[in-house]
Amino acid sequence: MKTCTLEALSEQTGLSTHTLSKVHARRSGVDLRTLVRYFSAFGLPLEQGDYRSAEKVDTKDRPKPNTPLSEGPALPSPTFTPAVSWGTAPDVAKFYGRVDELATLQAWILEQRCRLIILSGMGGIGKTWLSAKLTEQLQSAFKFVLWRSLRPISKAHSPLPFDELLDDLLRNLDPQSGLSGAEDIRTKILWLIGCLQKTPCLIVLDNVESILKQASSGDSADGNISIGYQAGYEAYCELFRLIGQGRHQSCLMLTSRQVPQKLSPFSGENRQVRLFSVGGLRTPDIQQIFAAKGCFQGNADEWHHLVDYYGGNPFVLETAATTIQQFFGGSIPEFLTYKSLLLDDIRELMDQQFGLLSESEKAVVGALAHQKMPCSLSTLRSHLPASITNTHMLGILKSLKARSLLAKAPTNPTMTSFPANYVRDYISQNFG
Ligand SMILES: Nc1ncnc2c1ncn2[C@@H]1O[C@H](COP(=O)(O)OP(=O)(O)OP(=O)(O)O)[C@@H](O)[C@H]1O
Ligand SMILES: [Mg+2]
């Protein structure tokens, strides 16, 4: 069994060595947050049987020395067993890395009581898996946990209609509500908010980009970006806003390739509504994913080069891994000499991401891909045709940022690494 020092554990959990000693001694009470954090450092969900609530203890009923005790009602009451409906959430037993991301998001939800969190990032970067792992770790702090995906089953189908989602949530959160389903949307929304006030619920809605029309921007004559939306978009955003700004003890987590623009104004570093940009995995995490697939050869530099080229995107790297096995006998250096040949599955993902950009947006993306470092707005400006006005350029940068194609703030733009590599290779292959 691996042993670890108190200091190392302190670094891993973010808890002081004093608090850790209290947890280990199991004689006096600690905050439930402390226990959640402690357990999650070992990848374990904190379950009801793992602790006792402060209010249940009186002088005659002292905790047994080996029973950690939680204090106070700072968190949702820990005395219930959560009712969990996972829907189509993936099994994340083989989940690697993301220690910092999990700790940050956990603090946002349990300590800072954020009501709405939007995880955004490009396709395949790991939003769904991160949210599933987080849900797994935090589930015992909530009475109801619901996971739903809004993604249509195929391109020929529509995303989950708003009314259907609302009925589904109410059926699960308040089975005895007596609602017939025929009530108007306003009544149902009020009822839902009432449920979130009464009991702590964690709701995860995956693939929110499905309710944003894919062809999001066109160039209008006045240089503004016009955005088309799926039916139900307005209602969904209004529900998200009401939950994000409401008074209740629950949390709604969304994942999306694109941040719904209507929600950005309500978010902020110290607000109940937060945006979290999901980045790539690190090389050691990717190596663990590869190890589950088979044997690969490469030195540290070659591994780093491979992971860096694809921006740590686990979906893309898993796709590359299959090709490396099938065509290069597991040799990473051999594959790297061919890496600019984008694999079909990756191309499809990139085409989804880039295929519907307007001509002006493509011009901005092309100019940015040539700048390997963040560039100033004036440098970018000098690489764009005069037909793109300054206002238009800023609008385009905002729209690229919302789609996770921009790594830095629009005032100092640069593209996220993998799409930039894709665009550079595409340009050099097609236009010499
Ligand atoms: N932390 C992780 N550990 C191991 N594998 C991971 C991890 N994160 C993601 N993956 C792998 O990468 C794949 C893509 O991740 P995920 O589905 O979460 O991406 P996404 O950002 O939700 O993509 P999309 O926008 O297409 O929905 C997963 O199917 C899984 O195989
Ligand atoms: Mg996903």
Tens of pLDDT, residue by residue over 310-347, are 889 999 999 999 999 999 999 999 999 886 656 667 77
pLDDT of 200 higher than 90: yes
Per-residue model confidence (pLDDT) at position 284: 96
With a 6 Å cutoff on the Cβ, whether 279 touches ligand 1 is no
Specify the ligand 1 atom closest to the Cα of 98: 1
Q: Whose CA is nearest to atom 26 of ligand 1?
A: 123
With a 6 Å cutoff on the Cβ, whether 311 touches ligand 1 is no
pLDDT of 428 higher than 70: no
pLDDT mean over 115-138: 95
With a 6 Å cutoff on the Cβ, whether 314 touches ligand 1 is yes
Band of residue 53 on the pLDDT scale cut at 50, 70, 90: low
Q: Whose CA is nearest to atom 23 of ligand 1?
A: 124
In the structure, ligand 2 is a single-atom ion and the residues with CB under 5 Å from it are: 128
Tens of pLDDT, residue by residue over 383-423, are 899 999 999 898 888 878 777 788 766 677 877 777 777 77
Q: Whose CA is nearest to atom 28 of ligand 1?
A: 315
Residue 95: name the closest of 241, 285, 272 by CA: 285
Per-residue model confidence (pLDDT) at position 64: 36
Band of residue 232 on the pLDDT scale cut at 50, 70, 90: confident
**Domains of the chain and any CATH numbers:** 6-71 (no CATH), 83-277 (3.40.50.300), 283-339 (no CATH), 350-431 (1.10.10.10)
Per-residue model confidence (pLDDT) at position 71: 35
With a 6 Å cutoff on the Cβ, whether 315 touches ligand 1 is yes
Q: Which residue has the higher pLDDT, 358 or 13?
A: 358
pLDDT over 70 percentage in the chain:
79
- Distance between Cα 129 and ligand 1 center (Å): 5
Q: Which residue has the higher pLDDT, 67 or 397?
A: 397
- Distance between Cα 257 and ligand 2 center (Å): 8
β pairing state of 201-206 and 251-256: parallel
Specify the ligand 1 atom closest to the Cα of 281: 1
Q: Whose CA is nearest to atom 8 of ligand 1?
A: 126
HEC-encoded secondary structure of the chain = CCCCCHHHHHHHHCCCHHHHHHHHHCCCCEEHHHHHHHHHHCCCCCCHHHCEEHHHCCHHHCCCCCCCEEECCCCCCCCCCCEEECCCCCCCCCCCCCHHHHHHHHHHHHHCCCCEEEEECCCCCCHHHHHHHHHHHHHHHCCEEEEEECCCCCCCCCCCCHHHHHHHHHHHHCCCCCCCCCCCHHHHHHHHHHHHHHCCEEEEEECHHHHECCCCCEECCCCCEECCECCCHHHHHHHHHHHHHCCCCCEEEEEECCCCCCCHHHCCCCCCEEEEECCCCCHHHHHHHHHHHCCCECCHHHHHHHHHHCCCCHHHHHHHHHHHHHHHCCEHHHHHCCCCCCCHHHHHHHHHHHCCCCHHHHHHHHHHHHCCCCCCHHHHHHCCCCCCCHHHHHHHHHHHHHCCCECCCCCCCCECHHHHHHHHHHHHHHHC
- Distance between Cα 178 and ligand 2 center (Å): 34
Q: Which residue has the higher pLDDT, 72 or 224?
A: 224
With a 6 Å cutoff on the Cβ, whether 289 touches ligand 1 is yes
- Distance between Cα 126 and ligand 1 center (Å): 3
pLDDT mean over 163-192: 88
Tens of pLDDT, residue by residue over 351-395, are 777 766 778 888 888 888 888 778 888 888 998 999 999 998 988
pLDDT of 227 higher than 90: no
pLDDT of 308 higher than 50: yes
With a 6 Å cutoff on the Cβ, whether 121 touches ligand 1 is yes
- Distance between Cα 207 and ligand 2 center (Å): 6
- Distance between Cα 128 and ligand 1 center (Å): 6
Tens of pLDDT, residue by residue over 75-114, are 444 545 789 999 999 999 999 999 999 999 999 999 999 9
- Distance between Cα 384 and ligand 2 center (Å): 34
For a mutational test of ligand 1's pocket, the pick from 122, 204, 315, i.e. the residue with the most ligand atoms closer than 8 A to its C-beta, is 315
Average pLDDT value over all residues in the chain:
81
With a 6 Å cutoff on the Cβ, whether 123 touches ligand 1 is yes
Per-residue model confidence (pLDDT) at position 62: 34
- Distance between Cα 209 and ligand 2 center (Å): 10
